[in-house]
Amino acid sequence: MASQIVSAFGAVIAGVFACALYYWLSDKLLQIVLPVRSGDVQRISANLKTHAAIRPWLFLGPALLLMIVYLVYPVIATFILSFYDRSGGNFVGLANYWWAATDAQFRQSIFNNILWLAVVPAACTFFGLVIAVLTDRIWWGNIAKSLIFMPMAISFVGASVIWKFIYEYRGADGTQIGLLNAIVQFFGGDPQVWIAMPIWNNFFLMVILIWIQTGFAMVILSAALRGIPEETIEAAVIDGANGWQIFWKIMVPQIWGTIAVVWTTITILVLKVFDIVLTMTNGQWNTMVLANLMFDWMFRGGGDSGRSAVIALVIMAAVTPIMIWNIRQASEDRGGH
Amino acid sequence: MTAAITLRRIGLPRLIVHLSVLVICILWLIPTIGILVTSLREPGQIASSGWWTAFSGAAETSAARLGEPSTARQDGPNYVISGSVFDAADSGPKGSVRAFGTKVAAPTEFAAGEAADLGDGETLTVNEDGTYIYSKNAPFTDKRGKRVYLSVAQPPSFTLNNYRTVLTSQGIGQAFINSLTVAIPATIIPILISAFAAYALSWMHFPGRAIIIAVVVGLIVVPLQMSLIPLLKMYNEIGAFFGIASRSYVGIWLAHAAFGMPLAIYLLRNYIAGLPKEVIESARVDGASDFEIFVRIVLPLSFPALASFSIFQFLWTWNDLLVAMVFLGTGKDQLVLTGALNALLGSMGGKWEILTASAFITIIVPIIVFFALQRYLVRGLLAGSVKGG
């Protein structure tokens, strides 16, 4: 154990050192091969120009390499693999796509993903907005925000254990140690196995993600609310608008852009939801979602790269509109010099 | 004065706002408090009562045998056996008796202190402190002492034993080290790489810059799922070619570094591009090379952005399950905390003393990081709220 700590520590130092060494050495090499400190003026000026042309690529090199190997190439490879069989060796045309179109579990996953997409981003944004408005109006608002934001630091697996304990079921006659069943019993209801109730169990899993992500929505929306110009509110007050009208007709329209950012960010997260379903139900009781189905096919019976590639591509297709929108936004307000 | 303050003057009554925020906070905290409290309780108590009763003590059912008939003494027409239910050799844990009964199915038939009429002229009273009076209007004929069942209130008790158990015998200690081994290099390595790239993309001129920026922004949202299959194949081939393990720490560090790279470059570029132009221009005029400008000026000035990104990356690598399962494996000595916790959920389902203690160990490090560095986390979120994880 101690040796592992030492080797981890060593890896950090070696990694950082190697990185630093690369940038330092490549810069030194450039200086030696194309000197700019001495020599005739024309030569220096020519060398300086070459420096300016080469340096950006030296700086960008490692980052580009990593992104190409780990992101760009795999996207293309996954696309190609979706036309091949389980081992990736034989071309099968559209067979994997046909499988997806006719597979019941795949349809179930799509249906569940749509349910998640319909509920989670809306719930997080709504609760986040309400809590942001409420906490902005009290003196201990920052403490409250901190507490609501805190689940964001908790892993999905940790959160799943936390909520599995809340949903715990101990037989119809046993003492209920799960909070939800204890409350139900207190009000005279019958305890239920919450995570095994088809359709509804999806919502019990969604609660976990809402619990985690509402804080994120709240933080972003709270900052946007503070940026609303005072005059617009004052004008509405003078015109006799009440608090409700001011909120819906003056404040919300002015933060539309931010609401869209929050909504899309959570949408992307929802499309990739994996850990929660894996740890809560592992896709049983009709809770399967795309990311879990894909993981399942990656390893099921030795793995089927063709079918899991198709599932990955479906997730990719769903995020593509958001991706294009992001790129548009980023190129509109591009900084830089 | 902000808009929110104006709204405060005209909005709902203040008290309702205070109360609703309080309720929301409690609602949000209760799940976490539940596992914290549970992880500190005795396994027997966890299984027999809800964690919310932990502070008021739990009622446990136990059995005891009253004194033998030979110890009976005559009191007028009655024969009386007396003593304490806690004196018996086989008695359960001591505490205060809440209720008792003579049938195992009904240990709470009679309240403590109540004189229970057992028929046949027998009466039994068990007091809260455990003393009892068992009397009959005729001699006792049973050979052995009567069996009674008790509901005994236990004083609240807390223990750290669950933590000791999971750290030593459930592999959580090892997993904790593994998590650190994954998360720390996977946080530090991408910082330098992305900072150099961000500088190039904001202060250097070269053809294709705009396209690279657009690609980086696009890559932020590419789902991890797209990368898994080809990378798994690639790792296996590299492992087979060099005759080394295909799943290694170096492999997962590079994977995490690469997956975090687009967001890192985006966040850092936003910040570095906003640095004052005069500082960098004047350094250029003084003959400093881009390398020197970056190391001496840009890197120190970018500290807040670097801190924001490192917190993101640390939380993301520490809390990750998918990348670790695919690139590090699920063997016992390779499991990170999230993987170990997931495995325990399968093998220890229902053993909440193990699960809650393990879960708390898993979440405590990110929670400390969160509360200590919340300021930077919020700043990072506001600067680049486009990544989904």
Q: Indicate the domain borders of chain B.
A: 14-54, 58-154, 163-383
In angstroms, the separation between the Cα of residue A59 and the nearest Cα of chain B is: 5
Residue B8's pLDDT is what?
54
Of A60, A226, A337, the CB nearest to B197: A60
Tokens of A112: 């569940």
Put simply, the chain B residues between 321 and 380 with a CB less than 8 A from any chain A CB are 321-322, 326, 337-338, 341-342, 345, 352, 355-356, 358-359, 362-363, 366-367, 369-371, 374, 378
Yes or no: say if A4 and B181 are a contact pair by the CB < 8 Å rule. Answer: yes
How far apart, in whole angstroms, are the C-alpha atoms of residue A222 and residue B358? 34
Residue B3's pLDDT is what?
57
Tokens of B154: 């236990």
| Same domain as A195, residue A237 | yes
Of A60, A70, A223, the CB nearest to B227: A70
3 state SS of A17: helix
B227 exposure class (CB count in 10 Å sphere: 0-12, 13-18, 19+): buried
Q: In this complex, is the C-beta atom of B309 within 8 Å of any C-beta atom belonging to chain A?
A: no
| Averaged pLDDT, B9-30 | 82
Q: Do A312 and B206 touch (CB under 8 A)?
A: no
Residue A151's pLDDT is what?
92
| A232-244 burial code (b ≥16 CB/10 A, e <16) | ebeebbeeebeee
Put simply, the chain B residues between 25 and 64 with a CB less than 8 A from any chain A CB are 25, 28-32, 34-35, 38, 46-52
| Same domain as A122, residue A258 | yes
Residue B388's pLDDT is what?
34
Contacts of A232 (CB under 8 A, 6+ apart): A250, A254, B3
A88 assigned to some structural domain: no
Residue A257's pLDDT is what?
85
How far apart, in whole angstroms, are the C-alpha atoms of residue A252 and residue A256? 6
Q: In this complex, is the C-beta atom of B181 within 8 Å of any C-beta atom belonging to chain A?
A: yes
Residues of B in contact with A220 (CB under 8 A): 381-382, 385
Tell which CATH architecture fits domain B163-383: Orthogonal Bundle (1.10)
Residues of A in contact with B47 (CB under 8 A): 177
Q: Do B21 and A134 touch (CB under 8 A)?
A: yes
Q: List chain A residues with pLDDT less than 70.
A: 1-2, 333-337
B160-182 per-position pLDDT tens digit: 888 888 888 888 888 888 898 88
In angstroms, the separation between the Cα of residue B116 and the nearest Cα of chain A is: 26
A93 assigned to some structural domain: no
Residue A63's pLDDT is what?
93
B71-123 per-position pLDDT tens digit: 888 877 888 888 887 776 555 566 778 788 887 777 778 888 888 888 778 88
Angle at the Cα of A321 from the Cα atoms of A118 and A128, rounded to 5 degrees: 40
Query: What are the backbone angles phi and psi of residue B111, rounded to the nearest 5°?
Result: -75, 155
pLDDT at B55 over 90: no
CB pairs under 8 A between A and B: 400
Residue B63 β-bridge partners: B149
Residue B389's pLDDT is what?
33
A253 assigned to some structural domain: yes
**pLDDT grade, residue B205 (50/70/90)?**
confident
How far apart, in whole angstroms, are the C-alpha atoms of residue A262 and residue B223? 18
CATH of the domain at A127: 1.10.3720.10
Query: What are the backbone angles phi and psi of residue B143, rounded to the nearest 5°?
Result: -80, -40
Kindly list the distances between the CA atom of residue B242 and the CA atoms of A15, A18, B120, B234, B327, in Å, as whole numbers in the listed order.
Answer: 21, 22, 87, 12, 17
Query: What are the backbone angles phi and psi of residue B132, rounded to the nearest 5°?
Result: -135, 155
DSSP 8-state assignment for residue A246: I
| Same domain as A112, residue A67 | no
B250-271 per-position pLDDT tens digit: 889 899 999 999 989 988 998 8
Q: Do A165 and B232 touch (CB under 8 A)?
A: no
Give which of B192, B218, B188, B214 is closest to B201, Cα–Cα: B214
Q: Do A336 and B356 touch (CB under 8 A)?
A: no
The complex scores an ipTM of: 0.87
Biggest CA pair distance of chain A: 94
Residue B366's pLDDT is what?
92
Residue B131 β-bridge partners: B84
Residues of B in contact with A22 (CB under 8 A): none
Half-sphere exposure at residue A145, Cβ-oriented, CA atoms within 13 angstroms: 25
Of A147, A175, A228, the CB nearest to B28: A147
- Would the CA dihedral through B243, B248, B253, B258 be positive or negative? positive
pLDDT at B48 over 90: no
Give which of A326, A328, A189, A202 is closest to A273, Cα–Cα: A202
Of B221, B273, B387, the CB nearest to A337: B273
| Same domain as A77, residue A147 | no
Give the chain B residue whose CA is nearest to the CA of A211: B28
**pLDDT grade, residue B1 (50/70/90)?**
very low
In angstroms, the separation between the Cα of residue A123 and the nearest Cα of chain B is: 14
A191 assigned to some structural domain: yes
Tokens of B270: 């936003």
Give the chain B residue whose CA is nearest to the CA of A183: B50
DSSP 8-state assignment for residue A173: T
Tokens of B222: 């590419």
| Same domain as A178, residue A314 | yes
Give which of A11, A53, A120 is closest to B251, Cα–Cα: A11
Q: Do A182 and B50 touch (CB under 8 A)?
A: yes
- Would the CA dihedral through A130, A136, A140, A143 be positive or negative? positive
What pairing do the DSSP bridges indicate for beta strands B110-111 and B115-119? unpaired
Give the chain B residue whose CA is nearest to the CA of A268: B388
Residue B12's pLDDT is what?
55
A29 assigned to some structural domain: yes
Q: Do B209 and A220 touch (CB under 8 A)?
A: no
Q: Which of B21-25, B125-129, B214-218 has the lowest mean pLDDT?
A: B125-129
Q: Do A55 and B194 touch (CB under 8 A)?
A: no
Residue A206's pLDDT is what?
94
Of A15, A315, A337, the CB nearest to B277: A337
B283-332 per-position pLDDT tens digit: 888 888 888 888 888 989 988 889 888 988 999 999 999 999 888 887 77
DSSP calls for A80-98:
HHTTB-TTS-SB-TTHHHH
Residue B90's pLDDT is what?
55
A99 assigned to some structural domain: no
Instruction: Starting at the earlier edge strand, list the strands of the sheet with B147-154.
Output: B58-65, B147-154, B96-101, B110-111
Residue B133 β-bridge partners: B82, B125
| Same domain as A164, residue A71 | no
How far apart, in whole angstroms, are the C-alpha atoms of residue A81 and residue A91? 9
Tokens of B84: 């304490």
Yes or no: say if B307 and B373 are a contact pair by the CB < 8 Å rule. Answer: yes
**How many domains does the structure of chain A reveal?**
2
Q: Do B180 and A153 touch (CB under 8 A)?
A: no
Q: Do A70 and B8 touch (CB under 8 A)?
A: no
Give which of A250, A150, A315, A69 is closest to B24, Cα–Cα: A150
Of B202, B258, B378, the CB nearest to A335: B202
How far apart, in whole angstroms, are the C-alpha atoms of residue B229 and residue A87? 11
Residue B109's pLDDT is what?
80
In angstroms, the separation between the Cα of residue A169 and the nearest Cα of chain B is: 9
A100 assigned to some structural domain: no
In angstroms, the separation between the Cα of residue B159 and the nearest Cα of chain A is: 19
Residues of A in contact with B369 (CB under 8 A): 153
Q: In this complex, is the C-beta atom of B238 within 8 Å of any C-beta atom belonging to chain A?
A: no
Q: Do A334 and B210 touch (CB under 8 A)?
A: yes
Mean pLDDT score of chain B: 83
Of B31, B46, B369, the CB nearest to A211: B31
Yes or no: say if B310 and B191 are a contact pair by the CB < 8 Å rule. Answer: yes
Yes or no: say if A158 and B362 are a contact pair by the CB < 8 Å rule. Answer: yes
Of A15, A88, A220, the CB nearest to B385: A220
Of A154, A246, A251, the CB nearest to B366: A154
Which structural domain, as residue segments, surrounds residue A56? 2-81
Contacts of B339 (CB under 8 A, 6+ apart): B175, B321, B324, B325, B328, B330
The residue whose two tokens read 């007091």 is B127
Residue B91's pLDDT is what?
55
The residue whose two tokens read 């034993």 is B161
Of B6, B203, B258, the CB nearest to A71: B258
How far apart, in whole angstroms, are the C-alpha atoms of residue B214 and residue A294? 28
Please provide the distance, in angstroms rounded to a whole number, between the alpha carbons at the two ends of chain B: 36
Give which of A74, A60, A6, A13 is closest to B327, Cα–Cα: A74
Half-sphere exposure at residue B12, Cβ-oriented, CA atoms within 13 angstroms: 13
Q: Do A298 and B203 touch (CB under 8 A)?
A: no
3 state SS of B146: coil
Give which of B152, B135, B151, B139 is closest to B82, Cα–Cα: B135
Residues of B in contact with A234 (CB under 8 A): 6
In angstroms, the separation between the Cα of residue A62 and the nearest Cα of chain B is: 6
